[in-house]
Structure 1
Amino acid sequence: MRQKPNILKAVDFFCSGGGMSSGMQKAGVKILAGIDYDITCKDTYERNIKGAKFLHEDAFDYKEVDLQKELNLKKNDDNLILIGCSPCQYWSIINTDRTKSTQSKSLLVEFRRFVEYFNPGYVVVENVPGVLRRKEESGLDDFQIWLKEKGYKVHCQVHNVNDYGVPQSRRRLTLIANRITDKELQPLKFDGKRLTVYDVIGEHNGFPKVPAGHKDYTDFNHTVAGLKQINIDRLNLTDKDGGSRDSYVNDKNLAPKCHHLDTKNFKDTYGRMWWHRQSPTITTKFFSMSNGRFAHPEENRAISIREGATLQTFPKDYVFKATSVANTARMIGNAVPPKYAESIGKAIINNHLNAI
């Protein structure tokens, strides 16, 4: 006999700064705890995810029974969601050196231990599409087979978060496993126009014009990385609203040596975002215009920390507590966009309510 549907609760593995937890909480899910080995995420997570614990644990060492005792969890709880959004550097097509991230490829296997032990009502996994290319190595194939054998209805598909209210082009693999009903659950699509950069940043959205190197010591954190003079000179020549390094590719004094006269490769590097298009994927290096199309559409600088967070759909009052621009950007770039997480949470809640 099914347990009476009650408030859904979740444990967020590999929680980082709380993107997934924030969205799930907004949808109406109670977040019990976030788990991460990176202690620098603790202050940010606890500041924003009210009522949740931050558990500083390494998934390779943490035991299922220890989590059970810490949170007083029960096995076979229909109202429990286990979320596993492990770091994706090893599987990312952007990453060029997997040496430091090799261990992370096995995190899905470690997460599965907890799913097997607790047998929750729902399981959520989110990662880069690159996992699909090597499903056996990642453990994704075996995990899906096991879930289906245990009676879960499994949805596993690549989605672009722009379809779910995020002003960004970002393709993500999303697995939602449901053993409460026989329905395959998908994130709920956004009912409205697809958002663009213009819809969320710029002076008209409360982002004052600032120069490269601007420091914002308030919680708004409209901080911008500094630029060398040569990069300012490059931006001075780069067309507003989507301009690229083509503007100076023939100038041997301005074009990087590897880009001089090259109009075909790495077109986005040093490029500006377009106002009326989605932003590119916000990576952990979004504060640096040399790492992609991360220059502001019209100002001569890279986008700020708060602009990157806003393009990821973090609320403007979300406070990031970190020791450097790079650390803050890493938390933001690694995050599941909260608006996308909310769409996953709503799909699960609707399913749960209809299970009565």
Structure 2
Amino acid sequence: MDWGFDSVTGVACIDLFCGAGGLTHGLQRAGVDVVAGVDVDPLCRHPFEVNNDAEFVLEDVGKLEPADLQTMFGSADTRILAGCAPCQPFSTYSQRYETVGTPRWGLLYHFARLVRALKPEFVAMENVPTVTKHKVYGDFVEALQNEGYQIWSDVVDCSQYGLPQGRKRTVLLASLNGPAELAKPSAETGTVRGAIGDQPSLHAGEAHADDRLHVCSSLSDLNLQRIKASKPGGTWRDWPKDLVAACHRKRSGKTYPGVYGRMEWDKPSPTLTTQFFGFGNGRFGHPEQDRAISLREGAILQGFPADYSFLPESEALQFKALGRLIGNAVPVTLGEIVGQSILASVGSGPQAIETSADAKGGCDDRALVA
């Protein structure tokens, strides 16, 4: 198949299940040349291509052939195959809907199939912590070991790397070129205040005139009363009894305090889900304004730049679709750390990249670490 890619040299990466481009954006910040992102969702094309120097390929990873990817890699000396498959099948919350045998369960097998055929020098994967409990993950790791990869994996708290969100994820790095592991945390813990404290104020249901992604969902009269009664870091247990939902008054509902909550300014946000724009869907209330966080604020908490474009100006904004793109994204900050870690293991870390840019008489923006 002719994908129309130019010849590539040096270190190159293909981002499978690329989504809106969070991993790619972070990798490119670190200095990795991401040549393509692959995803089955056409809504990903705009955010991926407009914000990143890489081509978007609309394709089902299960239908990709190794020859297709080798064409994309071109003549690269070091190839990185990154694959952050959809996490829903492995999420504790979603397992009531996603069972063994549904299409997304098998995507890691297709990832392994491509790795076995191509044998890229590096493999990177990110998913929810509970992915390690599933057979498909064990089979994936075994497939890499059988091909001679040295594997590092651990559950990573992204807030320890500066992301203003307490997002924990299993990260796996595999290498044919000797040991490779994620860099140790060195950044201060990010906070909600540091991330979104300077965003313009909004009322529930309002959109900012200069940034249509800085828009928050409306609230019913009852939920407006509830958020006014909510304390940062608190729960619905702090409310007057007449505001408590009937389901929470039952014995079975009293153990679910993690909804209808406000974030705290000087701590990381809770883990964002695909429904972070709804006050009743988790601890997604603004720390002091009587509203849920906006779509833009959610994107910033995922590490995206404040001007990252998620949809064309001509398209209508849909909370559910954009919430899914943002909530499912690999945090940009984590992508940058993964890129730095891999480049360091091949002797092409940030210092070497900066020297290379100086030698060319210019500055490669992607070599600058945010």
TM-score, length-scaled by structure 2: 0.85
Matched letter for residue 324 of structure 1: Q
1:243 lines up with 2:216 in the alignment:
no
Which residue of structure 2 lines up, in the alignment, with residue 335 of structure 1? 329
SS at match of 2:69: helix
Matches within 5 A, 1:291-330: 291-321=281-311, 323-330=317-324
Aligned length: 336
The C-alpha deviation readout for 1:102-141, integer Å capped at 9, x for no partner, is 311110001112111111110001111111111x2x2x22
The C-alpha deviation readout for 1:137-164, integer Å capped at 9, x for no partner, is x2x2222223223221101221111121
- C-alpha contact (below 8 Å) 2:12/2:33 kept by paired residues: yes
Alignment partners' CA distance in 2, 1:259 and 1:346: 46
- C-alpha contact (below 8 Å) 1:29/1:345 kept by paired residues: yes
Matched letter for residue 11 of structure 1: I
Matches within 5 A, 1:154-303: 154-181=151-178, 183=179, 185-202=180-197, 205=198, 207-216=199-208, 218-219=210-211, 221-239=213-231, 241-248=232-239, 250-251=241-242, 254-260=243-249, 264-303=254-293
The C-alpha deviation readout for 1:219-253, integer Å capped at 9, x for no partner, is 562110111111001112222x22321232522xx
Offset of residue 73 of structure 1? 3.5
Matched letter for residue 245 of structure 1: W
1:121 lines up with 2:121 in the alignment:
yes
Which residue of structure 2 lines up, in the alignment, with residue 147 of structure 1? 144
- Specify whether residues 249 and 130 from structure 1 end up closer, same or farther in structure 2 by C-alpha distance, changes over 3 A only: farther
Alignment partners' CA distance in 1, 2:96 and 2:142: 31
Which residue of structure 1 lines up, in the alignment, with residue 4 of structure 2? none
Which residue of structure 2 lines up, in the alignment, with residue 132 of structure 1? 132
- C-alpha contact (below 8 Å) 1:220/1:319 kept by paired residues: no
Alignment partners' CA distance in 2, 1:218 and 1:7: 40
1:110 lines up with 2:110 in the alignment:
yes
- Specify whether residues 298 and 29 from structure 1 end up closer, same or farther in structure 2 by C-alpha distance, changes over 3 A only: same
The C-alpha deviation readout for 1:76-113, integer Å capped at 9, x for no partner, is x6511000101011110122532489311110001112
For structure 1, which segment, 152-161 or 16-25, has the greater mean C-alpha deviation from structure 2 after superposition? 152-161
Alignment partners' CA distance in 2, 1:72 and 1:329: 32
- C-alpha contact (below 8 Å) 1:157/1:174 kept by paired residues: yes
Which residue of structure 2 lines up, in the alignment, with residue 44 of structure 1? 47
SS at match of 1:222: strand
Which residue of structure 1 lines up, in the alignment, with residue 361 of structure 2? none
Matches within 5 A, 1:48-87: 48-50=51-53, 52-69=54-71, 71=72, 73=74, 78-87=77-86
TM-score, length-scaled by structure 1: 0.88
- C-alpha contact (below 8 Å) 1:7/1:29 kept by paired residues: no
Matched letter for residue 244 of structure 2: A
SS at match of 1:42: helix
Alignment partners' CA distance in 1, 2:270 and 2:88: 17
Alignment partners' CA distance in 2, 1:275 and 1:40: 32
Offset of residue 66 of structure 1? 2.9
For structure 1, which segment, 94-103 or 13-22, has the greater mean C-alpha deviation from structure 2 after superposition? 94-103
Matched letter for residue 311 of structure 1: L
Which residue of structure 2 lines up, in the alignment, with residue 3 of structure 1? none
Offset of residue 268 of structure 1? 1.8
- C-alpha contact (below 8 Å) 1:242/1:275 kept by paired residues: no
Aligned-residue Cα RMSD (Å) equals 2.2
SS at match of 2:214: coil
- Specify whether residues 119 and 217 from structure 1 end up closer, same or farther in structure 2 by C-alpha distance, changes over 3 A only: farther
- C-alpha contact (below 8 Å) 2:12/2:73 kept by paired residues: no
Alignment partners' CA distance in 2, 1:128 and 1:311: 17
SS at match of 1:353: coil
Structure 1 unaligned segments of length 5 or more: list them. Answer: 1-5
SS at match of 1:211: coil
- Specify whether residues 315 and 189 from structure 1 end up closer, same or farther in structure 2 by C-alpha distance, changes over 3 A only: farther
